[in-house]
Structure 1
Amino acid sequence: MDFETVSAGDFGTALTGIGLNILVRDVPAQVAFLEDIFQMEAHRVSADFAIMTYHGQIMQLHGDHTYSQNPLLGLLPETPPRGAGAEFRLYHTDPDAAVERAKARGAHVLQEASEKPHGLRESYILCDNGYAWVASLPLAQFPKGDPS
């Protein structure tokens, strides 16, 4: 599917499995965050909407204003953080490199990269919308004692 030219109807009916749609205040700013830190690819970016791809997975970003007729809009908090309790796990992103990129762009690093008992090295990075983005790789990909 060509994400740049597909119609909304064709795109919607082609989606399968579990969908991830994230409401954000500023779509282009969220796109830049996801591209810069997690190397996601953006398609059809506008003030209203973007399609994001990450290792073959699709997610959508929608601007808050596009949900004017949706009952979910009334549940969004007026002030941050809005994403409490939601974490988006990105299992193909080096957590140390993501932290470096996050710091370079002034993003909030909630937790530096560290080894977890469930076999992953992870870092937690918050976007301006308050969502936690967790960069993860298996511990086996890091030499013992040298995670970088």
Structure 2
Amino acid sequence: IALELSGLSSREADEAAKIALSKVGLGDRMHHVPDQLSGGQQQRVAIARAIAGNRPVLLADEPTGNLDIASGKEVLQLFKDLCHDEVNPISILMVTHDPDLASNADRMLLLNDGKTEASDIRSAWGLEDEEGGEEE
């Protein structure tokens, strides 16, 4: 419905939904309802909804917060695939309290009371920087 409200015909919206669901590995679940899907699948459906409109940025607030470890890894891999898509790459702005999840980001920001405190907080969380440690 959201795609149709944005100006797509029913046929175009249906095709965009099929493509988005295929990207998240759920092309065969187009007509399933939420109680027929696992938590990880429901999360991927939410991601498919977000990418169906071909927007350049995906906002993700604690995208793995309610998932088991395996499903969380699937979502993280999906994000990586979406960022590196050769046809339609997207940027992902993700909010998380999980240092392991954040360590996969190309760039991290630390916000405290609504203000940016650091532009790369790998060291604050005890994570190696991309060059492999301190300079000598």
Is the TM-score greater than 0.5?
no
Higher relative contact order (CA 8 A, sep 6+): 1
- Give the greater-gyration-radius structure (CA): 2
Higher helix residue share: 2
Higher strand residue share: 1
TM-score (norm 2): 0.32
